[in-house]
């Protein structure tokens, strides 16, 4: 008999002014977004809003993972957020972020994104099974 | 022996400028709010803020349900948010929203609302048991 | 055989303009923050932002506990939020807040904080085991 128990491990919230996220800067985009994320954001009605929403989404996931201070080398590219077939933002972890999640027993990360005219906001939740 | 396992199924966050939610428009209110919701919002110190908070609450619940793109005919009236006896906002699903939740095995939806002078924000979480 | 089941009991979101949180007022700080919280906030790059983030964190935890209307005597000092060794904000409940949580079977409260230039925001989640 195998019993599953899911527990919420961490939560994360983050917000930024859309104007504060330098998505016009190719170096910033290249360093922090996967090719699929960048292509998706550029296809949206407001690319700056989409980049900003995804950026705060990555920060919120980072907080939910409960990893210690990120510093300049934070592997934000390792936290990939893409819409599933229903349009629900879905998190895939790679590299260091994946290793950190596995070390903490985190098996699922949920995220939600929102942006107004000026502000992007995100919430994330990490659960272990 | 029956074992229960609860799992978080989806999360949702949403925000709007209070001024962007047309609660002065009877058609908008009639289409998106139940009579009980409208009566409650009108009884509050700032009806526009209450309508806006409830509106983003419905959007957040919608996102947490993980239903695909809503379109113009989104049954926001089917997501009813009313305070319980302690004042905690409580979600009741009706019609299409209820059917969508049942189809996904979602048995409980939690929501929290907040508004500042200018902005309303909400967070929702859907769990299956 | 002991089986654990964790269930999310409540969620809470709150936001405030940083300028609306009177952290320059020693009476406000003394009444609402523990000595450890005040020392921590004063050590941060922007004490007003840190006090505001912690303040909305307390409000979000209060909402997640699902306690009824708080009134002027809300024991915000009983909801203490301090960083753990990884910098993750961690909730400790004291006094009335602790008693209320125990009465509802709440065994864990998670919180996340964020502030932009102008606004502080927090999300909290209460779970029973």
Beta bridge partners of A13: A123
Place of tokens 């349900």: B65
List, as own/partner pairs, every contact residues A113-116 make where C-beta atoms lie below 8 angstroms and the sequence separation is at least 24, other chains included. A113/A53, A113/A54, A113/A56, A113/A57, A113/A81, A113/A89, A113/B13, A114/A53, A114/B13, A114/B14, A114/B15, A115/A18, A115/A46, A115/A49, A115/A50, A115/A52, A115/A53, A116/B15, A116/B16, A116/B17, A116/B20, A116/B119
**pLDDT tens-digit profile of A15-65?**
999 999 999 999 999 999 999 999 999 999 999 999 999 999 999 999 999
Among chain C residues, the shortest Cα distance to A66 is held by C88
Minimal Cβ distance to C5: which of B6, B8, B113: B6
pLDDT of residue C33: 97
In angstroms, the Cα distances linking C25 to C31, C32, C73 are 10, 11, 18
Minimal Cβ distance to C112: which of A3, A6, A12: A12
Angle between helices C47-65 and C35-42 (to 10 degrees): 140
With an 8 Å Cβ cutoff, the interface of chain C facing chain B consists of: 3, 5-8, 10-17, 20, 60, 63-64, 66-69, 119, 121, 123, 125
Q: What is the mean pLDDT of residues C46-55?
A: 97
**Two tokens at C33?**
């923050």
Percentage helix, strand, coil, to 5, in chain B? 40, 30, 30
**What's the residue count for chain C?**
129
pLDDT of residue B68: 63
**pLDDT tens-digit profile of C56-100?**
999 999 999 987 655 545 589 999 999 998 889 999 999 989 998
**pLDDT tens-digit profile of B39-69?**
999 999 999 999 999 999 999 999 999 876 5
- Cβ distance B121 to C121 less than 8 Å, yes or no, reads yes
pLDDT of residue A78: 94
């Amino acid at each position: 008999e195998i019993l599953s128990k899911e527990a919420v491990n961490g939560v994360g919230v983050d917000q930024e002014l859309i104007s504060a996220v330098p998505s016009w800067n190719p170096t910033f985009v290249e360093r922090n977004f996967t090719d699929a994320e960048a292509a998706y954001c550029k296809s949206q009605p407001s690319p700056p809003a989409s980049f900003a929403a995804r950026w705060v989404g990555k920060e919120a996931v980072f907080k939910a993972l409960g990893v210690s201070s990120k510093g300049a080398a934070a592997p934000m590219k390792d936290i990939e957020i893409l819409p599933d077939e229903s349009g629900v933002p879905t998190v895939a972890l790679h590299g260091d972020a994946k290793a950190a999640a596995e070390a903490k027993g985190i098996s699922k990360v949920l995220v939600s994104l929102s942006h107004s005219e000026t502000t992007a906001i995100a919430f994330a939740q990490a659960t272990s099974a």
